């Protein structure tokens, strides 16, 4: 009898203390809008649901009404962080349909920009990671290092963010020997700075904050089909650069290794990204040593090439900084598109958030969400709604961050 009464009380307690927290969709700093509905019992997260589509601009349907060159510049605007990955993936599909083989030098230059973009993206995330755990000094330092990569982009392509490097059959800008020397010098500096960032991340306090947090084990990673550094942090050895080499990666296979970690926690994912920066620097050094001579693009007018691309379809894969990026392209043979389908890596990774967040505390949300490097942009306000009493309480991201910091101090 006594036992029965006690269980009744617990059930009632659970009902009363279950809260739903909408997380997002407005945030001033970095992430695109996403709305996470988080149910909590006390501090513990028990369920996660999400709403997407706040940045849905209808790019796929817009592309179907434009010609291939216009589409090339449109799809670059899908993402401001991995714009080169998107254009490379699209151009590869077009080149396969039109059986156009770019020159060796063009492929190497594509790979060079690709790896520079990976460094820029990973440094950006490491800075955000540092910011989310309350380490503002490291955030500022990391973003200061990142400016060097942006300088290089500007020197090579003329743009800091949307590089507009790719064109059908090659690339648009060449690398002079003087610039190659500069890239090498910058790489040495970035390597030194990244070593410093790594030593800051191996500091005991940071380790304590992000170790054993948001764990995604190997089997779950396989089941949820996560990709990129999120998968590699859980010990899944996948990397499109090794598995299905594209651009110049076939010849550069020996110059880099796939970084994996077994723990599957936030620390493992962060560490994978730090070491991938070193691997990218190795690839860039190899590219600069072995850069073949030749033309970078066909001499012919690009519109004439575009008109010659026949009707056909192709699937293309690249390893974007966040993981596997997939394009399906179907052309109409008159310089236009019938269908364009984009599957971005964050879309695959987002679902794993549920597995990572359940069991953690409210104060861990920003850290875990940042750890999958979501390509999302506005996640600032949090509303805590007590459904039972019908009261709601709005917490902004700053107070949430204060909670994060308090938790950090406690440890």
Residues that bind other proteins (CB under 8 A): 25-30, 32-33, 53-59, 61-62, 65, 70, 73-74, 77-81, 83, 124, 139-141, 143-144, 146-147, 150, 160-162, 375, 377-378, 380-381, 396-398
Rounded CA-CA distance 282/279 in Å is 5
Residue 409 in 3-state DSSP? helix
CB 364, CB 214: distance < 8 Å: yes
Closer residue to other proteins in complex, CB, 352/380: 380
Ramachandran angles phi, psi of 321, nearest 5° = -55, -30
Residue 396 in 3-state DSSP? coil
Dig out the tokens for 295 from the structure.
Answer: 């033309």
Closer residue to other proteins in complex, CB, 148/244: 148
- Which single residue is written with the structure tokens 């605007």? 77
Cβ of residue 190: shortest distance to other proteins, in angstroms? 15
Query: Quick one: which of 386, 387, 385 has its CA closest to 23?
Result: 385
Cβ of residue 167: shortest distance to other proteins, in angstroms? 17
Closer residue to other proteins in complex, CB, 314/347: 347
Cβ of residue 395: shortest distance to other proteins, in angstroms? 10
Closer residue to other proteins in complex, CB, 75/368: 75
Neighbours of 13 (CB within 10 A): 12
Rounded CA-CA distance 100/329 in Å is 15
Rounded CA-CA distance 70/58 in Å is 15
Residue 17 in 3-state DSSP? helix
From residue 334, give the alpha-carbon distance in Å to each of 208, 298, 342: 58, 20, 22
Cβ of residue 146: shortest distance to other proteins, in angstroms? 8
Cβ of residue 32: shortest distance to other proteins, in angstroms? 6
Q: Which residues pair with 392 in a beta bridge?
A: 385
Cβ of residue 321: shortest distance to other proteins, in angstroms? 12
Closer residue to other proteins in complex, CB, 296/369: 369
Cβ of residue 345: shortest distance to other proteins, in angstroms? 14
Ramachandran angles phi, psi of 52, nearest 5° = -115, 180
Interior/surface letters 206-228, b for 16+ CB within 10 angstroms, e for the rest: beebbeebbbbeeeebeebebbb
Dig out the tokens for 332 from the structure.
Answer: 């109409």
Closer residue to other proteins in complex, CB, 100/302: 302
Cβ of residue 138: shortest distance to other proteins, in angstroms? 12
**What's the gap between Cα 186 and its chain centre?**
23
Closer residue to other proteins in complex, CB, 144/262: 144
Closer residue to other proteins in complex, CB, 59/222: 59
Cβ of residue 7: shortest distance to other proteins, in angstroms? 42
Residue 103 in 3-state DSSP? coil
CB 71, CB 398: distance < 8 Å: no
Dig out the tokens for 266 from the structure.
Answer: 């936030």
Closer residue to other proteins in complex, CB, 167/234: 167
Closer residue to other proteins in complex, CB, 69/358: 69
Cβ of residue 52: shortest distance to other proteins, in angstroms? 10
Three-class DSSP labels, 219-274: HHHHHCCCCHHHHHHCCCCCCHHHHCCCCCCCCCHHHCCCCCCCCCCHHHHHHHHH
- Which single residue is written with the structure tokens 């990976």? 118
């Amino acid at each position: 009898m006594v036992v029965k009464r006690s269980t009744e009380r617990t059930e009632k307690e659970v009902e009363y203390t279950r809260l739903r927290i909408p997380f997002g969709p407005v945030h001033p700093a970095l992430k695109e809008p996403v709305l996470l509905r988080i149910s909590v019992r006390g501090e513990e997260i028990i369920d996660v649901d999400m709403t997407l589509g706040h940045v849905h601009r209808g790019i796929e349907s817009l592309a179907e009404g434009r010609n291939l060159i216009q589409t090339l510049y449109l799809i670059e605007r899908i993402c401001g962080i991995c714009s080169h990955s998107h254009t490379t993936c699209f151009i590869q599909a077009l080149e396969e349909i039109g059986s156009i083989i770019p020159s060796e030098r063009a492929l190497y230059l594509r790979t060079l920009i690709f790896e520079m973009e990976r460094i820029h993206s990973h440094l950006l995330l490491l800075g955000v990671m540092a910011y989310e755990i309350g380490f503002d000094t490291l955030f500022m330092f990391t973003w200061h290092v990142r400016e060097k990569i942006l300088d290089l982009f500007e020197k090579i392509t003329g743009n800091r963010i949307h590089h507009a490097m790719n064109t059908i059959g090659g690339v648009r800008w060449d690398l002079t020997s003087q610039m190659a020397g500069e890239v090498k010098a910058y790489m040495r500096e970035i390597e030194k700075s990244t070593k410093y960032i790594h030593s800051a991340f191996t500091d005991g306090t940071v380790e304590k904050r992000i170790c054993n947090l948001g764990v995604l084990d190997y089997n779950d990673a396989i089941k949820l089909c996560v990709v990129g550094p999120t998968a590699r942090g859980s010990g899944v050895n996948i990397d499109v650069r090794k598995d299905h080499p594209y651009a110049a990666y076939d010849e550069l296979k020996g110059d880099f290794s796939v970084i994996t970690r077994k723990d599957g926690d936030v620390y493992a994912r962060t560490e994978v990204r730090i070491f991938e920066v070193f691997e990218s620097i190795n690839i860039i050094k190899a590219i600069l040593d072995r850069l073949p001579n030749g033309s970078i693009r066909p001499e012919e007018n690009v519109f004439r090439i575009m008109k010659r691309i026949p009707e056909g379809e192709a699937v293309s894969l690249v390893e974007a900084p966040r993981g596997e990026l997939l394009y399906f392209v179907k052309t109409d043979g008159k310089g236009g598109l019938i269908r364009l389908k984009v599957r971005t890596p964050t879309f695959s990774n987002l679902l794993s958030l549920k597995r990572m967040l359940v069991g953690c505390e409210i104060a861990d949300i920003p850290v875990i969400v940042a750890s999958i490097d979501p390509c999302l942009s506005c996640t600032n306000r949090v509303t805590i709604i007590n459904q039972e009493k019908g009261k709601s309480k709005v917490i902004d991201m700053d107070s949430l961050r204060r909670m994060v910091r308090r938790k950090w101090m406690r440890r």
